[in-house]
Structure 1
């Protein structure tokens, strides 16, 4: 029988004297536990579950029942992880049918269909494929979380399964795209009162998918370790975790898809367990307008923060690096107030905002005051702008990005009610005074500790660092890389190790060999990347100095370096669209270094090995150890040759002043290699090298001398 959490004891009347109260209590408890443990994974014909009863899979890992999505009075039929009910997401079934009267709700099976009922009325039923109807069917909750309606006599005849209707989340073992067994084309869907979206398979690309939000489509690619392609790419199976006890699922939120993994709490750090995004698309807030969620803003450092007057809706998720759940108001709007206190909505400008938020609504208004009044008249209006006509934003604010420098966009955010409880003014003043004193003391203490930490970390190797870089301890790096156990690269500079920081941030740690120019390159890398941020430049998260060891901590690039995809026989061919995307991204990164930074930055070593690719094959320029900052007047010239043979501009060898054109030349060579898929440098006879530019120039001279040139 389904679990109902209770049981009953009966007197057997066998001439035995009535039990004593203590014995009766033991008997009741024993019977109750037996009833609770007598779980089943199957609903038989004419049977079902109701109210707070649940169906439990055979292994005990999943349960099916009516669960609330959060605090409130609504319930949905769903499957969730049984051993973590308080932290488990719910994988919705039943076409998101809302249940308001839980005791009157039931899930029953009759004939060949499953029914959701409330007060005896059918709200939903499963649709079995025509021609395969069975007079008697059973529903079974499998150990992978899939609820299957099948023929009672023939277990291989599946009439309906929950994996074909995943809602906004799916479990390992489920698939996107065409399921030939059931004939269902499966996609993930997101629905809210103001936005909707879908995630479907794009069979034209390997592991490709299309993420659609409010009718706007954006293509991406799943990594190979995450999915398995089937039926010539028409369907993608979500792979199970590598570890047997790993818990994962694919979550589709507005404008973002993430592979979520459960992170156990760290007892040593008094941490709290939670769901962590192991992989996301888009991968950062600079490339995804919904990455920071509702009322969340993308800062210049690539981090998410809530705008003034708002706080993270789920602080634990934000602490673990998952921001798409967004921010919530600290105070309600006046139109939502119950009238118990004095209140008044106000509008405040969003500081240093770049561009307009997503989904603005045009409004006819003659002045700024008229535009503000139009917004105030609608309780669902959350912001307005009068820069280029009156624009209003309803319900949500997405795609908030903070700029490092002007020009800024003037947007006015509607703040919550200014609660002014007259009887509590004196108490509030005392609280504010005490809070201010504690805050000031804490700030002083933190400043002293931070100064001491930085002093101890650097020791004798101090130098100034600009930008939002973290200074990591050696213990942190060692723990994040599992004692440097996962090496992903090695070269003359040292070794690179894969790691994971708290919050599931995937990192790559470069352990430099401190020989010759290594110390100078380390300082150059830190000081250069410490003050610049761009979507096509690899992000340096921080660094560590431990004795003679120099460690650089970068964001991890899942697809490695460009040369591995262009020249390796083991890698698949890059499509022309991806090659164009890579070439354009490199050009954007160089343009930023050359034109948009305060000082022109010459990279000096542009080559495929220094172009890294993220999960969506977005290119990011890396390795700034040879970079040089030049003033805009270019008065100084570089005298020491920097870079790699085959990509060096002629002026390096001829002794001419080095400008940003040297990077442009190197990019041109890389562009030839992207187009051709071949190295520009070839080994010819006796171990000598032939460089494509020299070879091409020689061929050009031969053509001219033979009379065929122009």
Structure 2
């Protein structure tokens, strides 16, 4: 093999790295004094998932120390470490440990070193220090003689991204206040914990603050709210997530195998109407906040991400500026007017010139000037354009955006031929597309014509649903009637939950019930149906997305952050209002038939919304009951379900009473365990309420932190709701007035079925059948107090 061929092969190998990493010579698993990591080596975590090395962003020439996902280097983001000290000559660079500090050295000169936690004393174990990359992606310097003693960790200096297990806020062990930071050409920002709010944070951009709250499922609050830890994904073995901080926007990114890209699972701000930076650099929010577009002369930087509804990556020039292309000092770049704007973009720089022509010239003379405005004095924008938003109504603002000189077309013969060719191609393509859409429309119209739906529901195509859900890649949960997936509506940034019904026969009945029931109701405490899809045997429902998931995940799980009593009380009130609307305010009384924590969803403010109307029964106002087969969930069923008696809206009231006890106690009412001398929690609760000892019913994790008056009222309401006879239970309208303290309540009696259960327990003959198979003869007829 000749020397020239060898050189060519080596060159190809170097280029194959894509600029991300230069020809890794080898990998190591630890860095100890006297044995550093060379610039073309990597440090690999024990599980093989992460690697530390010197990487370069994009096609730059500088390399920085960072961590990335080892098995997906082509797509992996880089989690930068330290102050981002750039190096060029990788063979002359090394990462070394000396004493108890970590150093980056280039040709023997120290460029960067780690700080030391605690008092800065040297290692006490006598074995010196070592640097190790943990399985979480955290680079730590620790004492070799006492490996539990960490001297420094990269998670305390996370830069602009945070891996699961990483902390924001005060680290009690080191005293470090950890925050995310962003540094751009002329902008900077930070993300810090707001300890005054539960899961709160402050996002600062060039000194301007905006405040938000992380979803409950995303972070875990520690140290009385002074720090937040990013949770691992529920399916951590198959999912990869990280928190990404961009200028003015923060996102939880998740890898999607179906789209081979990173998808934003959560963002703040959540849309372009509420966030100046949502559409990214040179992206503009369309009038009414309908979505993001690139300004003329620019295209999406990452089209795949834009198709998935993640716009923060912004837009890039279609053609470079003349000064960027060839270093000219005299510029012939053009400007395109951008008018009908809602105010001026972010971070304008005042230029002291006298005329409009001087303002234009001032921008042209600075290669980094990207736009100017001469409306009220001369204003220039450098490097970036953020916060572009179209306005519906005047007054309007306008700016002039700088375009590459080649965008000015030469109107010659060749140009005309190109235009004609493009127009002709577009005409043919449009005709073909119109035929395809017409056929699809007629097919979908035929499939959906048998459904009469009231309200403003949207009929989606199956292709739209597939694109919105990333081919059903992000499952939120699964129930008896099908699975629910997270998605983003096509052409918008609206996050939705898509229910894919299963079982053709049952699904058809389920589908008709949900569409006809939910499609015509609107209430703050009822989940909203946005649209549906019919495709062959497929039936799909598109709902608004609830970022905090279902109630059961918050009151029963030890892993979730603790809901305060105030939040629980407001959730109880919200459920009651939603049920009251169904029972008393709809044109037809709607009985839900399956009230349980799994069917209560929580939005980002923990406002409860009742969902899953597949069980619902609609009753005309001339009817007060309906005979049905048993439906619902054992443990929440009213006695009349078990005995085949007529079902009324009071069946929902009973289920609500059981849910109230679970909200109060933080435990399943059907748990088989001892509560004092009782095995069924509602029995124990009814006795304690009558004895006036309600604090013992409160979730022990709250440590008695509750409004005792509200707790007593809520416990009494729960006991009234679970009375044996439906006539002894209050209506949901009465429940609301009781919870709000508008009416006085008498002490509720202990239901007769509970008393019989207590006698069975006392005699030692308790069995599950003594509760589930009780007879109607055992029920009392004590009437509902007239004071209601």
Secondary structure at 1:42 match in 2: coil
Task: For residues 31-61 of structure 1, give each alpha carbon's deviation from its aligned partner in whole angstroms, at most 9, with x where no partner exists.
Answer: xxxx989743101211212231212222221
Relative distance call for 1:497 and 1:292 in structure 2 (3 A) is: same
Secondary structure at 1:153 match in 2: coil
Verify: 1:133 aligned to 2:122, yes or no.
Answer: yes
Per-residue deviation at 1:564? 12
User: Could you say which residue in structure 2 is the equivalent of 1:261?
Assistant: 254
Contact 2:272-2:289 at 8 Å conserved across structures: no
- In 2, distance between residues paired with 1:536 and 1:348? 47
Correspondence 1:203-218 to 2 at 5 A: 203-218=195-210
Secondary structure at 2:306 match in 1: helix
User: Could you say which residue in structure 2 is the equivalent of 1:486?
Assistant: 477
Correspondence 1:119-198 to 2 at 5 A: 119-129=107-117, 130-134=119-123, 136-198=128-190
Secondary structure at 2:397 match in 1: coil
Per-residue deviation at 1:116? 0.6
What is the root-mean-square deviation in Å for CA atoms of aligned residues? 5.3
Contact 2:28-2:41 at 8 Å conserved across structures: no
Correspondence 1:328-347 to 2 at 5 A: 328-338=316-326, 344-347=332-335
Verify: 1:220 aligned to 2:212, yes or no.
Answer: yes
Per-residue deviation at 1:77? 0.7
TM-score by length of 2: 0.62
Relative distance call for 1:540 and 1:350 in structure 2 (3 A) is: farther
Verify: 1:115 aligned to 2:107, yes or no.
Answer: no
Relative distance call for 1:617 and 1:365 in structure 2 (3 A) is: farther
Per-residue deviation at 1:166? 0.9
Per-residue deviation at 1:617? 6.0
Verify: 1:442 aligned to 2:429, yes or no.
Answer: yes
User: Could you say which residue in structure 2 is the equivalent of 1:234?
Assistant: 226
Relative distance call for 1:516 and 1:230 in structure 2 (3 A) is: closer
- In 2, distance between residues paired with 1:603 and 1:309? 52
Verify: 1:507 aligned to 2:496, yes or no.
Answer: yes
Task: For residues 502-534 of structure 1, give each alpha carbon's deviation from its aligned partner in whole angstroms, at most 9, with x where no partner exists.
Answer: 999852236796899976778778xx99xxxxx
- In 2, distance between residues paired with 1:420 and 1:481? 41
Relative distance call for 1:497 and 1:409 in structure 2 (3 A) is: same
The structure 2 residue matched to 1:308, chosen from 272, 277, 296, is 296
Secondary structure at 1:98 match in 2: coil
Secondary structure at 1:448 match in 2: helix
Relative distance call for 1:40 and 1:376 in structure 2 (3 A) is: closer
In the alignment of these two chains, the number of paired residues is 586
Relative distance call for 1:536 and 1:252 in structure 2 (3 A) is: farther
Relative distance call for 1:364 and 1:513 in structure 2 (3 A) is: farther
Per-residue deviation at 1:124? 0.7
Correspondence 1:306-705 to 2 at 5 A: 306-338=294-326, 344-364=332-352, 368-369=356-357, 371-403=359-391, 405-407=392-394, 409-419=396-406, 430-459=417-446, 461=448, 470-472=460-462, 476=466, 486-487=477-478, 497-500=484-487, 506-509=495-498, 543-546=532-535, 551-559=540-548, 572-573=563-564, 614-615=603-604, 686-687=728-729, 689=731
User: Could you say which residue in structure 2 is the equivalent of 1:202?
Assistant: 194
The structure 2 residue matched to 1:251, chosen from 244, 264, 268, is 244
Relative distance call for 1:294 and 1:408 in structure 2 (3 A) is: farther
- In 2, distance between residues paired with 1:303 and 1:164? 36
Task: For residues 600-627 of structure 1, give each alpha carbon's deviation from its aligned partner in whole angstroms, at most 9, with x where no partner exists.
Answer: xx9999x9x999864366999999xxxx
- In 1, distance between residues paired with 2:376 and 2:528? 35
Per-residue deviation at 1:66? 0.7
Relative distance call for 1:422 and 1:263 in structure 2 (3 A) is: closer
Relative distance call for 1:61 and 1:686 in structure 2 (3 A) is: closer
User: Could you say which residue in structure 2 is the equivalent of 1:15?
Assistant: none
Secondary structure at 1:449 match in 2: helix
- In 2, distance between residues paired with 1:364 and 1:87? 45
Contact 2:81-2:154 at 8 Å conserved across structures: yes
- Structure 1 unmatched runs, 5+: 1-34, 530-534, 584-601, 624-639, 642-675, 700-710
- In 2, distance between residues paired with 1:622 and 1:215? 42
TM-score by length of 1: 0.68
